[in-house]
Structure 1
């Protein structure tokens, strides 16, 4: 891998409203791949560059997002600003155990046209030039049929040029018309993936796999498969070897938002810096254990 990797993360950032116990709302920003991009940038330190690929509106919230991303060190050259459009919005409600419930307003979000406008042409042309391209199941859902197809072609070209493609499954049923459409989309992109960061519960919900063995068996051609299992040990298959890396015990879970996103970021950062799969998984557990002790998706630096 390039010692100064050029990394692109593709997806959606939304306005985040956190519903607090006293009934007030705290406003910030979040989204699975954006969370991963921020944590990846932090974990990499001076190594490499991290660009976020998305579409926003020309409103004040979109302005604030870009200012925040710039402050975190993310590259904004692949962010489209679509006149008259708005970003999506979601609200987080958490219970006494820290488990969260999401309410979404995102059907008209600008990101849905991320790869369908004339402004998308240079973005799509640039994607195969990256060393690492990262996206998620939520990315697939919000891009729609045309956007997914154009992304797939960019991934194929990126791999042809030597890029590593990284995928986090993040399956959200409400974002899909039906489960069969989601399965078809996932299967097509999983054929072009080098590192799969999979949540076991999502694999069970989408494909009906009963256990980790079925998940691993489903992806014989993927070089590196990481199975995230919450508070249980994560399981890894890499270069023909299997590893189990226990999670870290957390006494007080405040908010599980971005637990998986942060794990993925720290795992990938460690691997890009030459860490073993076991070292990378431990780094992922360490960061995730900190994230779930703080409200919201992004903890303070």
Structure 2
């Protein structure tokens, strides 16, 4: 199955559904003024994917559950303002969104404090009301989700999502997965490993953070990781390594794409999410893995120079810049 969609230049937009959780984001110092916005790994990716779509070639929808409160309503307005559809957002009357607080150190590294145990998104695939959302996944060309998307769900909802992805993939839908492993969201590491093992055979494109998979699966090196993903049937893997180069394994071989140098990192929040968005945007618009990784590095390098998950629209880089780093064969 080829990753790039043949109809990417035709009149019909490529339909992409991103499954996950949007939370209330707060930042500042305890006891001082607080800045409030919204964020979450797959939501960040959805926003950047929508922004990298100037000609409307990609239709981006967010799939989640929210409450009926004012924060939930404001979330949905913010998505629509970014060009993200909310047709498959479930409203759960007795629930609220999750919340997280970001603190950053002098080097831009962040620390998160979460309040999400009773968040609406945990219940998005529970009960008969979820059937329409799950069935709708087969209507998309691509479904994107992350390890966090899996982790926040209750066990039954997670199993229903996996089964829905089986059905969708049989209907021609392709799956992109960002591993984003967060140990505190799982009851234990074996539960997480089992969920990943169920999802990886359904995955066409894996966007992997090296540290996360090394922690979860204990890979001794990148060769071991690539071998495991190939055995699972994943055809394309982009291995993110922070400020180091990105390694790519695809049917044509392996590539190494250098990262862009950033003199002053302000905040690393959403660096990986933005890389994934740019990589996927490039591939869906006909770019090869080399160009996709360059796009990923370019956007991530800009994102880490701003505070918060979502940079201003005016700060979005020109992805066609000729000064992007060159690629080297691994």
Q: TM-score, normalised by structure 2?
A: 0.90
Q: Distance in 2 between matches of 1:37 and 1:117?
A: 26
Number of the residue aligned with 2:88: 78
Q: Which of 156, 167, 171 is residue 146 of structure 1 equivalent to?
A: 156
Q: Distance in 2 between matches of 1:268 and 1:89?
A: 27
Asked whether the 8 Å contact 1:20–1:26 carries over to 2, the reply is no
Q: Which of 158, 183, 186 is residue 173 of structure 1 equivalent to?
A: 183
Number of the residue aligned with 1:114: 124
Q: Distance in 1 between matches of 2:30 and 2:135?
A: 47
User: In the TM superposition, what are the counterparts of 1:1-301 in structure 2 within 5 Å?
Assistant: 1=5, 2-3=7-8, 4-20=13-29, 23-45=32-54, 46-220=56-230, 221-301=233-313
Unaligned runs of 5+ in 2: 314-330
Question: What is the deviation of 1:23?
Answer: 3.2
Q: Distance in 2 between matches of 1:249 and 1:20?
A: 29
Question: What is the deviation of 1:20?
Answer: 4.5
CA deviations 1:145-185 (Å, max 9, x no partner) are 11111111111111111111000000000000000111011
Q: Distance in 2 between matches of 1:33 and 1:117?
A: 23
Q: Distance in 1 between matches of 2:105 and 2:115?
A: 21
Unaligned runs of 5+ in 1: none
CA deviations 1:193-237 (Å, max 9, x no partner) are 000000000011111112111110111111101100000000001
Runs of 4 or more, structure 1, over 3 Å off, are: 20-23
Question: What is the deviation of 1:119?
Answer: 2.1
Q: Distance in 1 between matches of 2:53 and 2:247?
A: 23
Q: Distance in 1 between matches of 2:163 and 2:95?
A: 26
Question: What is the deviation of 1:21?
Answer: 9.1
Q: Which stretch of the first structure deviates more once superposed, 203-212 or 61-70? A: 203-212
Q: Distance in 1 between matches of 2:265 and 2:148?
A: 25
Q: Distance in 1 between matches of 2:279 and 2:31?
A: 36
